[in-house]
Amino acid sequence: MTNKDIHFSKLLMDVYASPTATLKYPNISNWDFSPFGLTEQDLIHSVYLVFDQVLKLPELYHISITQAQLYDFIIDLASVYHNQNPYHNFAHAVDVLQCLFYMLCELGVLPFTNKFLQKSKPQSLLRPKDVFALLIAAIGHDAAHPGINSSNPLATLYNDKSVLESLHAMTLFQLLNKHGIDRLVGDSKSEAYKVVSSILATDMSLHNDYVSKIKEQANRFNNTNSHLDEQDERNLLCSALIKCADISNVARPFHWGTKWAELLVQEFISQGDLEKQMGLPVLPMNDRTKVVLEDSQINFIKFVALDLFQNVANVLNEIEFAADQMKKNLRRWESRKKNIEYEQEEFDIVSNSSTTHMIMVETGIKRSSSSLDLQHHDVKRRPSIEKYPVNNTDDRDAPVYCQCSIQ
């Protein structure tokens, strides 16, 4: 089936099917959402449903975009994602889009639930046209992500600054332009630029800078009367929200969080395998003989994600639910880690203490994952926890468990 066929069958379905037909699509208004198990066609239709709802808002009536135009744009955008990537594929983009949609509903910015927008709250700075731009940024935020790369010619092209994020933003803008949607995103240059700039905020090497800026913003909204220019506060809110959505997998119900973590680690270790083949140095997080799923998630939550969500929740209180879920997930990962350590101790006792005795054990990933089908490896023993010291607060500037190594 070609993309055009998908497009037309969807249009026919929209014209002839009853409204309840859309119920077979996952509930986009649910935090327990996941795109797993959805076909490309279903993913495309889920995205369409989000934008279709938002574009029906009276404040966005002026954005005249036909159903066919919207569908064509989404189909084209889906096709520039590399679906052979375990993690950085169109499903991840859909997940990020749904997360933003959900959070905007919780904040009362989108009126599709019974939450109301209070004028006194920071989120009242977000206007429907900002929301539209932000949702476009979300679905395009990892467009054309290469997954693994053997060299980095893009670095030269984009002057080494937020290389991948610049690629995603440029790819998205080209498609918006091709489909005549760029004019609709905003009538002034600055509004169109906002879409780009919020994608640039997803560069994890800038993570700590953003967390500091958000901390200051919380301080401004909660303790002082001095505010930045409205547009600056608004841009920062957009950056904060897209950043949260981008790493929201660690705040989803644990069953989805583990699946995302496994997929990401698969992508990382494929990168490591390639680097090994090329004789390049390999980061521990990309090294299949070193990475331990539980440690990667405990560190990522403790030293990267929780800080962001808690600070965002100090500005946008309604986001607290996600920080709470993340803390629960952290406890689950910690208890899983304890069980593995216990198993490891048992294993050490029964195994021969001779250091030269080669034994077949599975890597940390396999041992700790129920659904991943990674291969067995000849390793002497599972890497000890001491080998991979937990980051202390002094290491905060250089979290090693996220892809900050791009630059």
Which residues participate in catalysis according to the annotation? 88
CB of 79 to ligand CMP, least distance (A): 19
Residues 173-202 that bind Mg ion (CB under 5 A): 202
Alpha helices in 56-188 (DSSP H): 67-80, 90-106, 128-140, 153-157, 163-178, 182-185
From 10-18, 65-73, 126-134, 396-404, span contacting ligand CMP (CB under 6 A): 396-404
246 binds Zn ion (CB under 5 A): yes
Q: Do residues 317 and 122 make contact, with C-beta atoms less than 8 angstroms apart?
A: no
Residue 357 identity: H
- Give the 3-state secondary structure of 158-189: CCCCCHHHHHHHHHHHHHHHHCCCHHHHCCCH
Q: Considering beta carbons, is residue 142 or 294 the nearer one to Zn ion? A: 142
142 binds Zn ion (CB under 5 A): yes
Q: Considering beta carbons, is residue 40 or 142 the nearer one to Mg ion? A: 142
203 binds Zn ion (CB under 5 A): no
DSSP state of 377: E
Among 75, 261, 308, 319, binds ligand CMP (CB under 6 A): 261
CB of 401 to ligand CMP, least distance (A): 5
DSSP string, 278-340: TT----GGG-TTT--HHHHHHHHIIIIIHHHHHHHHHHSGGGHHHHHHHHHHHHHHHHHHHHH
Per the DSSP assignment, residues forming a β-bridge with 275 are none
Asked if residue 255 belongs to a known ligand binding site, the reply is no
Give the whole-angstrom CA distance, residue 300 versus residue 247: 10
Asked if residue 297 belongs to a known ligand binding site, the reply is yes
267 binds Zn ion (CB under 5 A): no
Give the whole-angstrom CA distance, residue 175 versus residue 179: 6
CB of 108 to ligand CMP, least distance (A): 27
Give one word for 226, left, alpha or beta, with left for phi > 0 and alpha for psi -120 to 50. beta
Residue 8 identity: F
142 binds Mg ion (CB under 5 A): yes
- Binding-site string for ligand CMP from residue 81 to residue 120, where x marks contact by CB under 6 A and - marks none: ----------------------------------------
Residues 168-197 that bind Zn ion (CB under 5 A): none
CB of 406 to ligand CMP, least distance (A): 9
198 binds ligand CMP (CB under 6 A): no
Asked if residue 376 belongs to a known ligand binding site, the reply is no
Q: Considering beta carbons, is residue 123 or 403 the nearer one to ligand CMP? A: 403
Question: How many of the other CB atoms lie within 10 Å of CB of 229?
Answer: 8
Asked if residue 261 belongs to a known ligand binding site, the reply is no
Nearest position to ligand CMP, beta carbon: 403
Instruction: Estimate the crossing angle of helix 306-315 against helix 320-350, to 10 degrees.
Output: 160
| Residue 66: both structure tokens together | 């036909």
166 binds ligand CMP (CB under 6 A): no
- Binding-site string for ligand CMP from residue 133 to residue 162, where x marks contact by CB under 6 A and - marks none: ---------x--------------------
The option from ligand CMP, Mg ion, Zn ion, none interacting with 249 (CB < 5 to 8 A, set by class) reads ligand CMP
Give the whole-angstrom CA distance, residue 163 versus residue 206: 12
Q: Do residues 365 and 293 make contact, with C-beta atoms less than 8 angstroms apart?
A: yes
From 57-65, 246-254, 319-327, 334-342, span contacting ligand CMP (CB under 6 A): 246-254
Q: Considering beta carbons, is residue 142 or 203 the nearer one to Zn ion? A: 142
Asked if residue 89 belongs to a known ligand binding site, the reply is yes
Q: For residue 173, how many C-alpha atoms fall within 13 Å in the half-sphere facing its CB? A: 17
Residues 280-319 that bind ligand CMP (CB under 6 A): 296-297, 300
Q: Do residues 41 and 90 make contact, with C-beta atoms less than 8 angstroms apart?
A: no
CB-count burial class (<10 Å; 0-12, 13-18, 19+) for 283: middle
Binding site for ligand CMP (CB under 6 A): 142, 202, 204, 246-247, 249-250, 260-261, 264, 296-297, 300, 401-403
Annotated binding site for AMP: 88-92, 142, 246, 297
Binding site for Zn ion (CB under 5 A): 142, 246
Annotated binding site for Zn(2+): 92, 141-142, 246
